[in-house]
């Protein structure tokens, strides 16, 4: 079965530096195969015959042993990852409006949440939507459409504070990861 591993907090601002070649090698030494990575933010597609419930633990232990620090890791099987993509809730009209507002930045993001973090209500979402930003929640995922740079968005800052173990990917990156899946 194929899986996607998403790492949080590596290679950000020169901290927690991890070379993707080293990460791929770590996966192979841990018993995974068909290992591929995409960009430096820790996106790994791999195959395994192990039970999904043990994969995250094996990756976490191998990662700490090799790199000497903990990183939050989220693991999805191929069907889970594709269903997250298929559920992307924003219409072309909504995306176009955001892009027109500022055509120089990415606007569509997915925040992958640790499974224990999905305690956000629609009422809370409506309270924190800043300006035109839009948040939609699905099981263990926040879909985010921002009108300005995500770095400037108050909604994005709130999401990161509310879900510190989450990891965000822009829509382009999510689709590139999907392309790596056989």
Q: What is the DSSP letter of 9?
A: S
Q: Where are the beta strands (DSSP E) in the chain?
A: 2-8, 33-38, 43-47, 72-77, 108-112, 134-138, 141-145, 167-170
pLDDT range class, residue 153, cuts 50, 70, 90:
confident
- Look up tokens 């300006």; give the residue: 131
Q: Is residue 131's pLDDT more than 70?
A: no
Q: Is residue 123's pLDDT more than 80?
A: no
Averaged pLDDT, 137-157: 88
Q: Which residue has the higher pLDDT, 24 or 104?
A: 24
- Model pLDDT, residue 128: 62
Q: Is residue 122's pLDDT more than 60?
A: no
Question: Residue 73 and residue 80: Cα distance in Å, rounded?
Answer: 15
Mean pLDDT of the chain: 89
Sign of CA dihedral 81, 87, 92, 98: negative
- Model pLDDT, residue 165: 86
Exposure on the CB side of residue 117, measured as CA atoms within 13 A: 18
Q: If residue 100 lies in a helix (H) or strand (E), which one and from where to where? A: helix 92-101
Q: Is residue 86's pLDDT more than 70?
A: yes
CA of 103: how far to CAs of 3, 97, 108, in Å?
A: 33, 10, 12
Q: Which residue has the higher pLDDT, 160 or 115?
A: 160
Q: Is residue 138's pLDDT more than 90?
A: no
- Model pLDDT, residue 76: 96
User: What is the pTM (predicted TM-score) of this model?
Assistant: 0.89
């Amino acid at each position: 079965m194929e899986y996607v591993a998403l790492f949080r907090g590596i290679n950000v601002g020169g901290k927690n530096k991890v070379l993707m070649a080293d990460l791929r090698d770590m996966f192979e030494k841990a018993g995974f195969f068909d290992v591929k990575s995409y960009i430096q933010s820790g996106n790994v597609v791999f195959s395994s015959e192990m039970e999904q419930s043990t994969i995250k633990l094996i990756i976490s232990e191998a990662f700490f042993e090799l790199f000497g620090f903990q990183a939050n890791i989220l693991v999805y099987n191929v069907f889970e990852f594709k269903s997250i993509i298929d559920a992307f809730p924003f219409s072309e009209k909504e995306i176009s409006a955001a892009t027109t507002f500022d055509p120089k930045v990415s606007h569509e993001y997915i925040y992958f949440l640790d499974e224990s973090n999905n305690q956000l209500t629609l009422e809370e979402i409506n309270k924190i939507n800043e300006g035109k930003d839009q948040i939609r929640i699905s099981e263990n995922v926040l879909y985010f459409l921002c009108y300005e740079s995500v770095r400037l968005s108050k909604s994005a800052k709130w999401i990161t504070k509310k879900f510190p173990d989450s990891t965000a990917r822009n829509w382009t990156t999510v689709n590139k990861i999907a392309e790596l899946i056989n």
